[in-house]
Structure 1
Amino acid sequence: MSARPLRVMMSTPAIRDTTNPYIVQLVDAVGREVDVRLFSWRTAILGRYDVLHVHWPEIFTSASSGPKRWVRRALTTALQSRLALTKTALVRTAHNERPHESTSTVDGAILRRWNRLTTLWILLNERTRTESAAERVLIPHGHYRDHFARYGRQAATADLVSVVGHIRPYKGMEELVEAVADDSAEGAFRLHVAGKPADAALGRVLVENASGSERITLELDFVDDRRIVEIISSSALVALPYRQLHNSGVALLALSLDRPVLVPDNAVTRDLQQEVGASWVHLLDADTELTRAIRDALGHGIPEGSPDLSAREWPLTARQHAAAYARAAEIRGRR
């Protein structure tokens, strides 16, 4: 008799239109290798499964009000206690080296306990430093080609630059919009920023910074998959001048749609440039004026063909995740 497949609970609840496409693809691909369960508090605390796979642990305690936050903190503490008292393994994907937003003292303590409980880390790039000494496995971030293949692409406009995705303070969109609005140099280009700001105050800053500029289009709301493809494919460049960039799903999304990207120059982005080619990944030096760097990248045009993303195929990624889950279950079982 063959052994039953591993039961893996993802930290993601029901898949919705707003679910991160990376998670959508991961659940689908890994579900062909192991028995995947989507998250619910009841099952997570009381149910039977072998591995819990967590991506952004700070989400467990986020809530729209103080009372709800305390309820989620209590549930999270109960879940952590279940992990500590059983042989259930905790696998963490290290999307970032640390949370982008600051946390309270209570939530910081909860995050540190997640780190102590981690059985195995999945790294999306080899440069990632983790918050504990648990075993580490490198599994590169999968591409988005298959997920977005159902949507028709637009013809690129040579002077159009875009940014898509959730707008958060660390991404530096305020500075980007302000720089484009103030730019009076020759070779002017247009900018399309699309995504929902993290809060109303950030949205107001973007509107104020873009005021009076006919070169800037702001689409400050959630953008669905079809609209994402329309915006990126109609652009000649996707600009991501983030203050902090360690892993970027948007960069891989643009490359999956055969559009070059401009990203901050650091060790991770240099690795990406080496993987897919300098014509696809332009590096933004800290000493170079942002609008000048954008014009320089636009001057190279869109390369012929497609970037090589063969190391990021989802069947391979799924097998690597299944092996990581099995290894974590083995480690936890020994303990």
Structure 2
Amino acid sequence: MPTTPASVWQVPETCGWNDYVREADQALASTGWIVLRPDICRDTPSPAVVARTTWTGPIPAIAHLHWPEKLAAALGPERALALMGELRQEGTRIVQTLHNLAPHEPRPDLARFRAAIDVMTDGVHFFSAEHERVAREHRPALPIPALHLPHPRYSTPEPAISIGCFGRLRPYKRTAEFAAAILAGDDELRLLVAGHPDDVEADRRLRAIAEGDTRLDYRPGFLPVAEFRHLLATVEWVALPYGQLHSSGVLVEALQADRRVLSVAPVGGTALYGTYDHDRWLTVPVWNEQAAIRAWRSTVSQSRIALPTWSDAAGTLVDFYSAVIATPPRRS
């Protein structure tokens, strides 16, 4: 029976321990590839009942082994090797992702199984060139065709960045101007403004912004010290959008609480307060909302995870599958 074009069988087919297999499944399907699920290998916290030990149905073009030892656990090492051999005879190509360079716990009983699987493998997905170098020192039987692709990030939404502006609202603090400017963008953020509104116009503007943008949490009113410190602990950044920064109790509290700070450079310099990395206390020489926000966005983007999305990774993976299929089968 010929293999089914653009089809893949993942091993394990499901994994109850993390979302890697499920997200790979969905991403591969979104590219148009058929994900086969013969119900042979499922990895769950409670032992899964094996529905069958022989292959029935369409033959996959690719068998993608994430954790081959799970197949050995499901079928037994000998039957697992026999099944992979049968699929190879039908034309299936085997790809491994080297999640683990070597078992975390020694399993001498699986040494032959792992070595045999490496010999059968047609292509390997490594997370980096260094990953490949180290892996080949331990796994000399792995094939030459290789893909370097970092571990994709999960689809879990990134948490909104939280910024706080605290203290009495006064014209020189430019709190309303800062709120309007930063919320004009589409950043995933929560802006907390809390303090007594000495400035009537700033209060009016902030109330209007809060009515139209749920990202602004505006809490006008006197803040007792205990409540201020409680709110301070809920934000990642403290912004002091002041035209001039002479001395500030909010600044000292923020630094003591290890919050990240965005401000104009203080009179006397930041060294008066200690030594801080640029991404911990971000200053601009002259306060300007747009310049400060640009610098803040640049800093935030550098501290965000840089791994590929599953959508991007899936396209790269299926290109690798196609390249493996186009290469003459490996002799084992």
- TM-score, normalised to structure 1, is 0.46
**More relative contact order in 1 or in 2 (CA 8 Å, sep 6+)?**
1
Higher alpha-carbon Rg: 2
